[in-house]
C-alpha cells in the first residue's frame, strides 16, 4: 500500500504536513473558505446598501425587525438564548433580525430534517422493548422507569437487561480493550467519531480495520466533516476505500452559506457484530490516550456494552449512515443475534439526541437524575455553559441537601469556554454545589453518577452546543455493577483536584472575569 507506514505506529495514509490548518488553507478547504467569505460579504453588502436607502424602506425594515422580535419572544427558545438574540438585534437591528430569520428558517437543513424524521419513523420498531424488562424496572424504581419511557418515546431506545458493562477511567484502557475486541470481529465493524487524527491510536485501529476488511468483514467509518479542517485531507474517505473500508464524512464543508454547518456529529460509537459496543468521550486521536501531551493529562471515560443493548448503537449508526442513502439496511445488520449476558445485572439504555427536533433528550436525562437524586450527583464535564433550566436543576438539588459535585478542567483547551464556566461558579457555590478543577490537566469526560444506583456515560457536555446543536449519544445505566467503578474513579479523581471557593474566585485575573462577562452575552451560540 503506497504511502503507508506499517511500523509500530500502525497504518498512516497521510504524509506529515498533509493535515492541519496550514495545509487546509492551501487546499480545497481554502477555496471553500474564500467562497464562503465572499458570500457573507455579498449578503452583508446588500444589507448595507439597503441601509443607505433607509429613508425609503425604513418602515419595511422596522416592521421586519418587530416581527422577528415578536417571533423570538413567543418562540420555545431558552430564555437565555432569547436575551442573546435581543442583544444582537439591539446592536444591529436589521442585520440581527435577518440573522435570526436565517438561522430559524431552516435554510440549508430543511431537507436533512425531513430525512432525519423519515429515518426515525422507519427505525421505530426495529428493536422492540422487552415488556418484562420494563415491568421489572417499574417495580424496582418507578422514577427511573418513567425516564426510560420518555426516552424510548423520543426514538427507538429500549431499555435492556442481560448486558455487561465495563467502565474505562482513562482513554488508554478503552483503546487497549477496543483493539482486543476489533480482533474478534466476524461480520461487521461500525465506527462513528467526531474526531479522527492520524497517529498511534488511529494507526493501530486502522491496521486491524484494513486486515478485517481483507478477510471479508464489512467495515464502515464515519467522522464529522470538520476533520477536513483540522486533522484529515478531503480525499481521506477515498484513501480508506482503497483498503476496502467504506467511509463517509458527516456534513462536509461546501462553499455555500447554510445553517446545516451548525449541527455536527459529536457522537463516539464503535459497534462490533451487534454484540459489543463502545461509547464515551474518547475520540480517535493520540491526546485521548495521552500519547500526545495536550493541556496536561487528558482525563476521559468510556464504557463497553456486551450483550443485547449493543444493538441499539448499531441502529444509531445505521440511521446516521442512511442520511444520504436511498435504501436503509437495518434488517441486514440487526439480524445478527446479540448473545445475552445472563449473569449481568441491572438495566442499560443506549440513547441518542438529535438537534433537529424539539426533544432535548440529553438535557432532560441529566435534569431528571438531578431532580430524583436523594444522596449525591457527581458530574464530570469539560465545559459548563448552562441554560437557565440546567443551572436551576443543579442549584435546587444542592439546596435539597443532595451532594452535588462538579469536576472541570484545571488546564482548559478553550480560554473563552473556561472563562464562561467561571461565570456560573459563584451562583452555584452560593446554593451549595461543590466545584473542583482537575489539577493535572484537562477533563474531557462526560459522566453522571448518582446514589450508587444510576448514571450516564456518553458524549453529552454541559454546554449549549452539546445540549442544543450536536448529534449526541450516551448510555443510561441503572443498577449495573460498574456504577461502583464509576464512583470509585470519581473519588480517586477528586484527590487530584483543587476545590473552587469564593476565596479562590477572588484571585481570578480581572481579564478572565471580564472575558467571561462579555462572552456570556453570546453563550447560547457556543
Answer whether 179's CB lies under 8 Å from 380's CB. Answer: no
Sheet holding 246-250, edge to edge: 163-168, 302-307, 276-280, 269-272, 188-193, 218-224, 246-250
Spatial separation of the C-alpha atoms in residues 317 and 271, rounded to whole Å: 8
User: What are the residues whose beta carbons fall under 8 Å from the beta carbon of 348, sequence distance 6 or more?
Assistant: 159, 160, 161, 163, 165, 305, 307, 309, 475, 476, 477, 478, 480
Dihedral sign for Cα atoms in the order 109, 230, 516, 390:
positive
Spatial separation of the C-alpha atoms in residues 330 and 305, rounded to whole Å: 20
Spatial separation of the C-alpha atoms in residues 249 and 267, rounded to whole Å: 13
Composition of the chain by helix, strand, coil, percent to 5: 50, 20, 30
As beta bridge partners, residue 471 has: 265
> Which domains occur in the chain, in start order?
22-110 (no CATH), 111-353 (3.30.870.10), 361-525 (3.30.870.10)
Q: What is the pLDDT along the chain (526 residues), one digit of tens a residue?
A: 434 444 467 898 876 655 555 555 545 445 556 655 666 676 667 666 666 665 666 667 778 888 889 988 898 888 888 888 898 888 888 778 888 887 777 665 667 788 888 898 898 889 999 999 999 999 999 999 999 999 999 888 999 999 999 999 999 999 999 999 999 999 999 999 999 999 999 999 999 999 999 999 999 999 999 998 889 988 999 999 999 999 999 988 765 555 556 789 999 999 999 999 999 999 999 999 999 999 999 999 999 999 999 999 999 999 999 988 888 889 899 988 777 787 899 999 999 999 988 789 999 999 999 999 999 999 999 999 999 999 999 999 999 999 999 999 999 999 999 999 999 999 999 999 999 999 999 999 999 999 999 999 999 999 999 999 899 999 999 999 999 999 999 999 999 999 999 999 999 999 999 999 888 888 877 6
- What is the per-residue pLDDT for 6? 40
Listed residue (161, 127, 163, 134) closest to 150, CA to CA:
134
Phi and psi at 81, nearest 5°, equal -65, -35
Side-chain-facing half-sphere of 407: CA atoms under 13 Å: 29
- What is the per-residue pLDDT for 108? 59
Spatial separation of the C-alpha atoms in residues 192 and 220, rounded to whole Å: 8
Q: Compute CA 147 distance to the chain's CA centroid, rounded to the nearest angstrom.
A: 20
- What is the per-residue pLDDT for 12? 86
Q: Name residue, grid cell 423570538.
A: 72
Spatial separation of the C-alpha atoms in residues 347 and 168, rounded to whole Å: 18
DSSP track, 344-389: --SEEEEEEE-TTSS--HHHHHHHHHHHH-SSEEEEE-S-B---HH
96: which 3 cell numbers? 440581527
- What is the per-residue pLDDT for 4? 44
Spatial separation of the C-alpha atoms in residues 324 and 213, rounded to whole Å: 23
- What is the per-residue pLDDT for 36? 59
Spatial separation of the C-alpha atoms in residues 93 and 163, rounded to whole Å: 55
Spatial separation of the C-alpha atoms in residues 10 and 209, rounded to whole Å: 11
pTM, 2 dp: 0.90
Answer whether 339's CB lies under 8 Å from 317's CB. Answer: no
- What is the per-residue pLDDT for 53? 60
Spatial separation of the C-alpha atoms in residues 189 and 266, rounded to whole Å: 19
- What is the per-residue pLDDT for 8? 66
Amino acid at each position: 500500500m503506497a504511502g503507508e507506514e506499517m511500523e509500530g505506529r500502525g497504518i498512516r495514509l497521510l504524509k506529515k504536513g498533509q493535515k492541519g490548518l496550514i495545509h487546509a488553507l492551501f487546499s480545497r478547504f481554502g477555496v471553500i473558505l474564500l467562497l464562503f467569505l465572499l458570500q457573507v460579504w455579498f449578503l452583508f453588502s446588500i444589507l448595507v446598501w439597503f441601509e443607505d436607502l433607509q429613508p425609503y424602506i425604513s418602515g419595511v425594515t422596522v416592521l421586519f425587525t418587530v416581527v422577528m422580535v415578536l417571533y423570538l419572544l413567543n418562540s420555545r427558545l431558552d430564555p437565555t438564548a432569547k436575551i442573546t438574540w435581543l442583544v444582537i438585534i439591539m446592536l444591529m437591528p436589521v442585520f440581527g433580525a435577518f440573522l435570526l430569520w436565517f438561522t430559524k428558517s431552516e435554510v440549508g437543513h430543511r431537507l436533512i430534517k425531513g430525512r432525519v424524521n423519515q429515518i426515525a419513523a422507519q427505525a421505530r420498531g426495529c428493536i422492540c422493548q422487552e415488556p418484562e424488562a420494563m415491568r421489572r424496572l417499574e417495580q424496582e424504581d418507578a422514577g427511573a422507569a418513567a425516564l426510560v419511557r420518555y426516552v424510548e418515546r423520543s426514538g427507538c431506545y429500549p431499555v435492556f437487561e442481560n448486558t455487561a458493562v465495563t467502565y474505562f477511567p482513562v482513554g488508554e484502557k478503552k483503546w487497549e480493550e477496543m483493539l482486543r475486541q476489533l480482533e474478534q470481529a466476524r461480520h461487521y465493524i461500525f465506527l462513528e467519531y467526531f474526531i479522527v487524527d492520524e497517529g498511534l491510536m488511529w494507526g493501530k485501529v486502522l491496521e486491524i480495520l484494513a486486515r478485517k476488511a481483507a478477510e471479508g468483514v464489512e467495515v464502515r467509518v464515519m467522522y464529522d466533516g470538520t476533520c477536513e479542517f483540522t486533522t484529515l485531507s478531503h480525499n481521506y474517505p477515498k484513501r480508506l476505500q482503497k483498503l476496502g473500508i467504506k467511509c463517509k464524512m458527516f456534513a462536509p464543508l461546501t462553499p455555500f452559506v447554510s445553517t446545516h454547518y451548525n449541527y455536527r456529529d459529536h457522537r463516539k460509537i464503535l459497534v462490533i457484530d451487534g454484540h459489543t459496543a463502545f461509547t464515551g468521550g474518547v475520540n480517535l486521536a493520540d491526546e485521548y490516550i495521552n500519547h500526545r501531551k495536550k493541556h496536561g493529562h487528558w482525563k476521559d471515560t468510556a464504557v463497553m456494552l456486551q450483550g443485547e443493548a449493543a444493538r441499539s448503537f448499531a441502529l444509531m449508526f445505521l440511521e446516521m449512515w442512511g442520511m444520504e442513502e436511498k435504501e436503509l439496511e437495518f434488517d441486514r445488520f440487526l439480524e445478527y443475534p446479540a448473545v445475552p449476558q445472563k449473569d449481568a445485572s441491572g438495566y442499560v439504555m443506549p440513547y441518542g439526541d438529535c438537534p433537529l427536533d424539539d426533544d432535548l433528550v440529553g438535557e432532560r436525562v441529566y435534569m431528571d437524575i438531578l431532580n430524583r437524586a436523594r444522596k449525591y450527583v457527581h458530574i464530570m464535564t469539560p465545559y459548563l455553559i448552562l441554560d437557565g433550566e440546567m443551572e436551576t436543576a443543579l442549584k435546587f438539588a444542592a439546596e435539597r441537601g443532595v451532594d452535588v459535585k462538579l469536576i472541570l478542567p484545571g488546564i482548559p483547551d478553550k480560554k473563552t469556554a473556561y472563562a464562561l464556566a467561571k461565570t456560573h461558579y459563584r451562583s452555584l457555590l452560593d446554593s451549595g454545589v461543590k466545584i473542583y478543577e482537575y489539577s493535572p490537566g484537562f477533563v474531557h469526560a462526560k459522566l453522571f453518577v448518582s446514589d450508587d444506583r444510576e448514571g450516564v456515560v456518553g458524549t453529552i457536555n454541559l454546554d449549549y452546543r452539546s445540549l442544543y446543536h450536536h448529534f449526541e449519544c450516551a448510555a443510561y445505566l441503572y443498577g449495573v455493577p460498574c456504577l461502583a467503578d464509576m464512583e470509585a474513579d470519581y473519588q480517586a479523581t477528586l484527590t487530584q483536584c483543587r476545590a473552587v471557593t469564593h476565596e479562590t474566585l477572588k484571585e481570578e485575573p480581572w481579564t478572565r472575569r471580564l472575558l467571561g462577562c462579555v462572552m456570556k452575552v453570546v453563550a447560547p451560540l457556543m
